[in-house]
Amino acid sequence: MHILAPYATIVGMGIMQSLLPWIQITTSCILILSILLQQTGASAGSAFGGGEASSIHTTRRGFEKVLFVTTMVVAIIFVVSTILTLVFPK
């Protein structure tokens, strides 16, 4: 049993090293798509300091809330996979 333990660790690391790039590619595509699907009431001018002072904050409901939570979860998965790539280099 002790003889196979180092081999199992090496095999597990090899699988992780081969899966991490695919996880990053997939999560980055999902993250881009989920960010682009989110609708905001802000125009392009408000991103550069312009915009209305009387903008009203609305709560997220339904699909918009699901999309927001999905974006956060995918972003966290992407960051964790990036950190794992740095911790376990090839």
Give pLDDT tens digits for 9-59. Answer: 555 667 777 888 899 999 999 999 999 988 765 555 555 565 555 556 677
CB 72 within 8 A of CB 1: no
| Local confidence band at 8 (pLDDT 50, 70, 90 cut-offs) | very low
**Which is more confident, 87 or 33?**
33
Distance in Å from the first CA to the final CA of the chain: 27
**Torsion of the alpha carbons at 64, 56, 54 and 48, rounded to the nearest 10:** -30
